[in-house]
Homo-oligomer: A and B are copies of this chain.
Amino acid sequence: MLAQAIEMLRDRSLPMLIEQEIERVILGGEYAPGDKINEQALALRFGISRGPIREALRSLDRTGLIDTIPNRGVFVRRLTAAQAAEIYDVRAALFALAGQCLAIRASAADVERLRSHVAAMDEAVARDDFETYIAENFALHEAIVTRAGNATLATHYLALVKQLRLYRTRNLMLADSVHASNEEHHEMVEAIAAHDPARAYAAHFNHVATAKTRLMANHLT
């Protein structure tokens, strides 16, 4: 218990904590894409000096959440529809790989956990409980990518998902598309449960490709 707390502090320096906090602020919508981020304002807000703030911003820059323009400052990254589409294509390739890997190595406990997430989403859809759906949806995707047994894959996938949150997510979850989306989840998880890599690959790829289509169609309206 104490060892855990010590371990927490061991790999969580101030700049890392600040980075996490700034990320939360950005993805939470407090800053809008294109907004300027003021170093001094952040330093004042967190009660620290600008040094750690700047270090956190360099890291966020590499993550793709902000754009840095020398002598001008940092700005919340603004994604065009074309860029979002690009990210979806890469994400589809990585997610398909994750599904394929997991289909090979998934344990019974893994399958059970995935099924529980899908079941929770089924219930959430029936109750029109969007908040729960979104949380379980992310949990399912994260579980698949994390349990696939490739840390590099997980890192890059989650980075892409983070970037996509910069693309206006308003009205992203429509009632009917949510139902269709969870049908795809069923197919993904059953392909993994069947230990069928090719089927899992196709199901996972299709899921992201369909999500991209839905988002792009929504964008044009």
Residues of A within 8 A of B (CB): 9-13, 15-16, 51, 54-56, 58-59, 61-63, 68-71, 83, 86-87, 89-90, 93-94, 96-97, 101, 150-153, 156, 160, 163
- CA of A54 to CA of B9 in the docked complex: distance in angstroms? 20
Most buried by B among A63, A68, A160: A68
- CA of A163 to CA of B151 in the docked complex: distance in angstroms? 14
Most buried by B among A15, A59, A160: A59
Are A90 and B156 in contact (CB-based, < 8 A)? yes
Are A13 and B90 in contact (CB-based, < 8 A)? no
- 30 residue pairs of the A-B complex, CB under 8 angstroms, read A9-B70, A10-B69, A11-B69, A11-B70, A12-B70, A13-B68, A15-B58, A51-B54, A54-B55, A55-B55, A59-B59, A59-B61, A59-B62, A62-B62, A83-B151, A83-B152, A86-B150, A86-B151, A86-B152, A89-B97, A89-B101, A89-B153, A90-B94, A90-B97, A90-B150, A90-B153, A90-B156, A93-B93, A152-B163, A156-B156
